Amino acid sequence: MNREVKIPTLPDSVATAKITNLYVNEGQLVYEGDVLFDVETDKVVLEVMADCNGIIESITIANGDHVDADQVVMTVKQLTDSELPARPKAQSANNSTSDLAEQTTATPPLFSKFNVSLIIALAVGALAILFVLGN
């Protein structure tokens, strides 16, 4: 079954909106909740998301097009769960947190550029204090 994707209802004060980013192509598989495109008005940018799993059948908009409220801009061929391939998995959170832990626990060398500058600044400050106290 094909489902129509429409421009959301716009406020009464807004006659048209502009397509700022189109994220999908015809023939592309989308999952419910995927962002399809952005619609920009004078005051807000709206993300229009897929309301079902399926394949993009047709697209009648492009970046920069001006559109009206409730205008049909694409159709999605809805797929049943049995027809739908498994969603690709992003890098697991465990891998990213362990990489982050490794990065934050690595200690910089004692004489790194920052540490040398800090040591010199502390030494100059200490000498200045001794000079002032000696006079």
What is the CATH number that goes with domain 2-78? 2.40.50.100
Residue 13: what residue type?
A: S
pLDDT of residue 96: 47
pLDDT of residue 13: 82
DSSP 3-state of 120: helix
Give the bridge partners for 46, in sequence order: 39
pLDDT of residue 115: 67
pLDDT of residue 97: 47
* Cβ-Cβ contacts under 8 Å for 54 (sequence gap 6 or more): 3, 29, 30, 76, 77, 78, 79
pLDDT in tens, the chain (135 residues): 899 999 998 888 888 899 999 999 999 999 999 999 999 988 888 999 999 999 999 999 999 999 998 999 999 999 887 777 777 776 444 444 445 544 444 545 555 555 677 777 888 888 888 888 876
pLDDT of residue 93: 44
In which order are the strands placed within the sheet that holds 66-68?
45-49, 35-40, 16-22, 66-68
pTM over 0.75: no
Would the CA dihedral through 96, 102, 104, 109 be positive or negative?
Answer: negative
